[in-house]
Structure 1
Amino acid sequence: MEYQYPIDYHWTTDEIVDVIKFYEAIEKAYEKGINRDELMAIYRRFKEIVPSKAEEKTLCSEFENISGYSSYRAIKKAKDASAGDRITMK
């Protein structure tokens, strides 16, 4: 995609890389599907970096505004799915 991911420049390089992996996993859920367990593992790491619900909501809202992909809906679908399921957002 041709846009910049919302990040916090106070994060370490590793944290920025992991947050970008989260955004890429959301894109993957919308574009071709992703394994539920993979998405949840990436989301858990994202929550280690962004533990605040308010900050998560802000970042995910910015991401949705620039990409059109809802992190909230993808994660909700993953939470409601069974282990091993494939998450596809259409």
Structure 2
Amino acid sequence: MDYQYPIDHDWSTDEIIDVIHFYESIEQAYERGIDRDKLLHIYNRFKEIVPSKAQEKTLCREFEEVSGYSSYRAIKKAREASGSIIRM
């Protein structure tokens, strides 16, 4: 990883850690695969920190620009999947 994750500096340390964990989970979905329920659980925590749809879109777009990984597509696939492992 040669990029920085988009974060809000107003978040607490725990919130920053949880948002970074969300980004890492999206990376894992693309690179190795991730448990569907785990990804959705991590996403739900992300939504607690970022309840605004507009802020979510901004952060996810910035993440996709630097990483090439789409959070939207990964979460959509996890919601629609019937299997236990998500691979992008």
TM-score (norm 1): 0.96
* Counterpart secondary structure, 2:74: helix
* 5+ long unaligned stretches in structure 2: none
Partner of 1:16 in structure 2? 16
Match of 1:49 in 2: 49
Residue number in structure 2 paired with 1:73: 73
What letter is aligned with 2:43?
A: Y
1:38 and 2:43 matched = no
Instruction: Give the drift of 1:64.
Output: 0.1
AA partner of residue 25 (structure 2)? A
Query: CA shift at 1:57, angstroms?
Result: 0.2
TM-score (norm 2): 0.98
Q: Which runs of 4+ in 1 moved over 2 A?
A: none
Shift of 1:87: 0.3
Q: CA deviation at 1:2?
A: 1.2
The alignment partner of 1:11 has SS state of coil
Q: Render the CA deviation track for 1:65-89: whole Å, top value 9, x for unaligned.
A: 000000000000001013x610000
Q: Distance in 1 between matches of 2:30 and 2:38?
A: 14
**What is the alpha-carbon root mean square deviation over aligned residues?**
0.7
Instruction: Count the aligned residue pairs.
Output: 88
1:86 alignment counterpart: 85
Tell me the alpha carbon deviations over residues 5-56 of structure 1, each in whole angstroms, 9 at most, x when there is no partner.
0000000000000000000000000000000000000000000000000000
